[in-house]
Structure 1
Amino acid sequence: MQFTYKYSSPIGGITIASDGESLTGLWFDGQKYFANTLDSRHKEIILPIFEQTCEWLDIYFKGQCPGFTPSLHLSGTPFRMMVWEILQKIPYGETITYKEISEEIIRQKNLKYMSPQAVGGAVGHNPISIIVPCHRVVGSSGSLTGYAGGVSKKVELMKLEHMDTSVFFVPMQGSAL
């Protein structure tokens, strides 16, 4: 059985999911891939993991680094799990590029090549937004792309982390990166 809880953030509603012990999902309501790891049968209740996650979010939305991470249970392909593990290592207030993630996978797996686009697909399917900080990933050119919650939310999250968002840009629809 899966469980859910609704959180109201300053930048939109958030649905949080759990298996009863750990966090399994965190999505902005209506975002791309919303609740794609959530069973159709779930129950909305308050659990200790939700209380801890809400505490984390309260601190985060005050513009502070929470300093702890709720218990997470990510589930995906080995490739996605590898990408999500790298995401979890991006420091608060810093960014990394899709290319840098692909280079890290090349290094770890001793590969000749890894597509930044494949990395982008894995980043976009991250089921635990914000806490697994996919919003900290940018294009090599400094473009703000690929956030399932929408670029405007990505910018707001970066501002909360005291990043200078003026150094980034939003590419025009259909432009190459």
Structure 2
Amino acid sequence: MDSPLGAIKIVGDANAIKMVVFVDEIGEENEGIIPLVVRKCKKQLHEYFVGQRKQFNIPVAPEGTDFQQQVWQNLQDIPFGVTSTYAKQAVKLGDIKKIRAVGTANGKNPIAIIIPCHRIIGSDGSLTGYAGGLDKKAWLLKHEKSMPGMAQTSLF
């Protein structure tokens, strides 16, 4: 699908979304039947980009280790328009020493935007790593902060 940030590829099956990634160009659409969950994902992402959606309510099933799954689940608890840090995420998962592992898991998140790893910033408030690029991360954070009622800027 096309978006204000460029092309986005959505992959899913009949049950859940498996992947949402930024790509260089939109490829050929699957000529077969597009699963309902993929159509819903595309619609909800469009609503997000035009400022009509702050939460996604589609099933996701990213593939990863148990630890990655915990990190990605934790990301989904960060509210729209709010940021947190890798350190806070590691503490929430029970071990500050896992801060690098948390960062690595965030970097391997296969479902951009919906599992909002863009909401994780450095402890000093700096923008740090984002698979889609820091320009996209900055745009997403600015977009979320510009929505009405978004006065709170960080979690905890």
> TM-score normalized by structure 1?
0.74
2:98 to 104, 109, 115: 115
Q: Give me the TM-score of the superposition, normalised by structure 2.
A: 0.84
- Report the equivalent of 1:22: 16
Report the Cα distance in structure 1 between the residues aligned to 2:97 and 2:53, rounded to whole angstroms. Answer: 31
How far residue 66 of structure 1 moved from its aligned partner, in angstroms, is 4.1
Contact residue 92 and residue 161 of structure 1 kept, 8 A: yes
CA contact (8 A) 2:55 2:80 kept: no
Unaligned residue ranges in structure 2 (runs of 5+): none
Question: How many residue pairs were aligned?
Answer: 142
Distance 2:88 2:63 in 1: 23
Unaligned runs of 5+ in 1: 1-6, 31-42, 168-177
Q: Indicate the RMSD between aligned Cα atoms, in angstroms.
A: 1.9
Deviations 1:119-174 (A, max 9, x none): 1100010010000000000000011011000000001111110269xx9xxxxxxx
C-alpha separation in 2, matches of 1:22 and 1:28 = 19
Contact kept in structure 1, 2:13 and 2:37, CA below 8 Å? no
In structure 2, the partner of 1:74 is 62
Ranges of 4+ aligned residues in structure 1 off by more than 3 Å: none
Equivalent pair of 2:13/2:35 in contact (CA under 8 Å): no
Q: Is the 8 A contact 1:64 1:161 kept in 2?
A: no
